[in-house]
Structure 1
Amino acid sequence: MNREQLTRMATGKGFIAALDQSGGSTPKALLQYGIPEDSYATDKEMFDLVHAMRTRIITSPAFTQAHILGAILFEDTMDRTIEGIPTSEYLWGKKGIVPFLKVDKGLADLAEGVQLMKPMPDLEPLLERAVEQGIFGTKMRSVIKEANPKGIKKIVEQQFEIAKVILKAGLVPIIEPEVDIHSMDKQASEKILKTEIAKHLALLNDEDRVMLKLSIPTEPNFYAELQKEEHMIRVVALSGGYPQNKANKLLAKNHGLIASFSRALTQDLHVDQSDEEFNKMLENSIKAIYEASIT
């Protein structure tokens, strides 16, 4: 573990940019950016286009360590370069931004009110490559749709089981059991989730350090206890489908909770914008999310 990166993540001001759309979510990200699905015929063409979009974001003068602590990458992005430099190396070496890697393979079918993560048979080799690339930590997402105690228990158990593999590899896991913002019993799910997370945090080794990525809670500062837990580097919030303005307003009510936004970060960017327009729009977006993250 890079101690300088650890200190930055634990004490720095800013937020995490989620640039980790995978094969399933990339078409939506490109469409939001102004590139329809009929613009590409193969996965390679699709990933080339999304890498060009991410490169434009990362190389923008607005994308700096002044407001951004870390960036989450998709595996394909980690394996590519920016200006001839491996992406993770560019982020840390050129921008001072801590690189993370999305490691999950998507969601399983809904069962007991939740969607667990699909199996990850190649996780350990992927973690080895991540370490070689200078990645600091990982991110993995599962989703809670209903306040089903059995389902939520399984979600948290799976997350921490895989987190221990990631810790063993020398990386910091971002544990992401998202509660669907449209759930009719969102607040009830959050209560069950917090209890289950606390149980598993108490079982970690003294030296283990983890992060959480959670939906913005219904009750402001609901996760304050988890933020102070001895194993916790940082608790970050996902936008969950909220537009940026609403996500920022909700986030700002939670002291110490910082953003890790994806769609809400890039929602106003468009492929046809001039570099001046693009950079100004990105700058405005970054500053607004930053302000909501330092309350």
Structure 2
Amino acid sequence: MSIEDLESIALAMVAPGKGIIAIDESTKTIGKRLAAVGVESTEESRRAYREMLLTTPGLGEHISGAILYDETIRQSTKDGVPFTTVMKKAGIIPGIKVDKGTVPLAGFPGDVVTEGLDGLRERLQEYAKLGAQFAKWRAVIKITEDTPSSTAIEANCHALARYAALCQEAGLVPMVEPEVLMDGDHSIDVSYEVHEAVLRSLFNALYEQNVMLEGTILKISMVIPGKDSDEQVDAEEVADATVRVLKSCVPASLPGIVFLSGGQTDKQATSHLNAINHIGPHPWPLSFSYGRAMQQAALKLWAKDPKANVAEAQKMVHARARDNGLAALGRWNG
């Protein structure tokens, strides 16, 4: 696939007023989410839940792509239509999570590094055959008194860059996701400093690995105080700090940036995204790639009666997609 093809997929992922839904929770994580609403996690219950999400009428109006998990990209609707076929008909680009999760970084207590590079070339080729057009890899950066170390930042960014190069070789757009966790009591200023260090390291690593930025998407956390912090900040302060760090670290040649919700409430995630776009225009489209903030309300309703509540739950999914689509244009009014 040419750089022009990668570029056009990347641009379609951040089309005006559209964002990405993340339904790439591992079997363990989706199991916890289902258990929390009283649904047993089986292959069938996971398939039915994700069918409800992906077959939401009109979803493609506000959703450009969906990140799937290994199990999900192989699944079909109850009528036997592959999910990837359903998505493409709705104008939704199939994506796939390819990392293998985090492990402790040896020698640096408290820091973690993401694994999954072994065998990645072959896995990417298989996912491309299954219909994926982009992939996602998440690095996790923890803020504490002792973390992150510069070694942890460098190790994670190096892995993200190697993954990105392999994606482009396989004809997939890499979504690079260095998530700075909200856990902790750190201030918005500390969050800013860590985001700045991470983004500088990331783009340096991407450059060193010959990754074509024109065919790459950044998925990033917002600059926000830790959730145990007493600091009170409004949406405008979050927007200002987030845009400032992006403008100082992210090259303008990148086709677009999407934010993760990272433990924010549904309303916070939408309100912050709206405030960020309200102070535009920006060098790149700034949109969303939300998981929990897109699904939580619909999951609770669906779980009460997974057969009878599908249509009502889908209305909730569509409403969240519409709200975030408006926020991606700076036009959401609460």
Q: Compute the TM-score of the two structures, normalised by the length of structure 1.
A: 0.87
Corresponding residue of 2:246: 223
Q: Distance in 2 between matches of 1:71 and 1:201?
A: 24
Percent of pairs identical after alignment? 25
* Displacement of 1:119: 3.4
Matches within 5 A, 1:274-289: 274-289=309-324
Q: Deviations over 1:146-170 (max 9, x none)?
A: 3422211211111101211111111
Q: Distance in 2 between matches of 1:18 and 1:206?
A: 24
What SS class does the counterpart of residue 250 from structure 1 fall into? helix
Aligned residues between the structures: 284
* Displacement of 1:134: 2.1
- 1:248 equivalenced with 2:270 (yes/no): yes
| Equivalent residue letter for 2:96 | L
**Structure 2: gaps of 5 or more residues:** 225-240, 278-284
What SS class does the counterpart of residue 105 from structure 1 fall into? coil
- 1:118 equivalenced with 2:115 (yes/no): yes
**Structure 1: gaps of 5 or more residues:** 41-45
Q: Distance in 2 between matches of 1:257 and 1:60?
A: 24
Q: Deviations over 1:100-141 (max 9, x none)?
A: 000011111256453211234332222111111221110011
Matches within 5 A, 1:187-206: 187-203=192-208, 204=210
Matches within 5 A, 1:165-180: 165-180=166-181
* Displacement of 1:228: 5.0
Shift of the 193–207 alpha-carbon distance from structure 1 to 2, 3 Å rule, reads closer
Answer whether contact 2:17 2:326 (CA < 8 A) is retained: no
Shift of the 292–228 alpha-carbon distance from structure 1 to 2, 3 Å rule, reads farther
- 1:214 equivalenced with 2:211 (yes/no): no
What SS class does the counterpart of residue 61 from structure 2 fall into? coil
Over aligned residues, Cα RMSD in angstroms?
Answer: 2.2
Q: Distance in 2 between matches of 1:276 and 1:170?
A: 36
Tell which deviates more after alignment, 199-208 or 274-283: 199-208
Answer whether contact 2:13 2:19 (CA < 8 A) is retained: no
Tell which deviates more after alignment, 12-21 or 121-130: 121-130
Q: Distance in 1 between matches of 2:176 and 2:217?
A: 6
Answer whether contact 1:108 1:118 (CA < 8 A) is retained: yes
Shift of the 225–70 alpha-carbon distance from structure 1 to 2, 3 Å rule, reads farther
The correspondence for 1:55, drawn from 51, 54, 60, is 51
The correspondence for 1:22, drawn from 26, 48, 55, is 26
* Displacement of 1:10: 4.7
Corresponding residue of 1:136: 133
Q: Compute the TM-score of the two structures, normalised by the length of structure 2.
A: 0.78
Q: Deviations over 1:66-99 (max 9, x none)?
A: 101110000111111124222222211x200111
Shift of the 279–119 alpha-carbon distance from structure 1 to 2, 3 Å rule, reads closer
Shift of the 10–167 alpha-carbon distance from structure 1 to 2, 3 Å rule, reads same
Q: Distance in 2 between matches of 1:12 and 1:202?
A: 27
* Displacement of 1:212: 1.1
